[in-house]
Each structure stands twice: as C-alpha cells, then as structure tokens.
C-alpha cells in the first residue's frame, strides 16, 4: 500500500528497504526512554515535532511521537516511534512493544553486526525489559511507519 506524502507516493516496501526495525518493551515513558538512550548510549535523539504521527480511529485522534537521531558522518538515521497512544497502537500486531526503533542505513554493508551491537547496547538500559528485531515481512500495518 502506498501513502501520499508531500505530493509523492511512497511505497511501504520501498521505505523499509535498507532498514532494521527493533521492538522494545520498556518501563519508561517516551521522553524518559529517549533521555536514557541519549545519556547512556550517547545518541542525540530529539522529538521531531513536524513528524508526529496522527491516526484517526473510532472518532478519535491519536498521536504517536517520533524521535530522530541523524549521524551525518555515516548517513545512518535512527527513528524511535512511540507504539502506544491512549490504548491504540501504531503497529497493533506488536501490542507488547512500547517503542519501535528503526535504523535507516545508507547501504547494508555490515548491518547484521551493527544490529547485534545495537540490540546488546539497548538491553543494557535499566528501563528495557525486552528488545527484538521485527522482520519487515511480519508487519501488517507497515504503512503506519511512513513519514
């Protein structure tokens, strides 16, 4: 399924090319989790106020904050999506995940080692209960991740 964005049509499959998606269960709220990631893992995640995902469902509007970290040297972009908003889920197939951490790689040179290292680092955070890689082919609502 394609999504209209700034007069361009973006395909979810294409958007997820060269990406890794991790699901994270944590005890902190979104801003606390990102603060911990920034301080312990030395990232620089900031709330992207222009890309907060808005979903209309059941006559209500739900907002899913998005945090972004850009490494200009390596051209690797990290996004942390909040997966839950007032009982609704950005990816309902992963209701047990509080956060979705997507890494956009410029090229998939050594992605498996980078992913293993990132997962190991995230598991060190005191607020994290679980981290798991989410294969793109298991995502039923992948278009919800399009920015």
Q: Where are the domains of the chain?
A: 14-137
Average predicted confidence (pLDDT) for the chain: 85
Q: How far apart are CA 12 and CA 142, in angstroms?
A: 6
- The per-residue pLDDT for 112 is 64
- The per-residue pLDDT for 109 is 59
Average pLDDT value for residue range 62-81: 90
Q: Please say whether the beta carbons of 131 and 117 come within 8 A.
A: no
pTM of the model: 0.84
> pLDDT per residue over 4-45, tens digit each?
433 344 454 555 667 899 999 999 998 999 999 999 999 999
pLDDT confidence of 137, banded at 50, 70, 90?
A: confident
β-bridge partners, 11:
2
- Fold category of 14-137 in CATH: TATA-Binding Protein (3.30.310)
Backbone angles phi, psi at 101, to 5 degrees: -110, 110
């Amino acid at each position: 399924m394609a999504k209209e964005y700034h007069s361009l049509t973006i395909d979810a499959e294409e958007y997820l090319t060269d990406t890794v998606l991790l699901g994270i269960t944590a005890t902190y709220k979104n801003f606390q989790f990102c603060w911990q990631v920034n301080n312990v893992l030395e990232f620089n995640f900031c709330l992207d106020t222009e890309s907060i995902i808005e979903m209309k469902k059941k006559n209500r509007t739900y907002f899913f904050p998005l945090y972004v970290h850009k490494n200009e040297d390596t051209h690797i972009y990290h996004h942390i999506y909040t997966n839950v908003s007032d009982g609704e889920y950005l990816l309902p197939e992963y209701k047990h995940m509080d956060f979705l951490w997507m890494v956009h790689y410029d090229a998939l040179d050594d992605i498996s080692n980078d992913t293993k290292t990132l997962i190991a680092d995230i598991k060190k955070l005191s607020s994290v209960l679980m981290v798991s890689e989410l294969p793109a082919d298991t995502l039923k609502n992948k278009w919800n991740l399009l920015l």
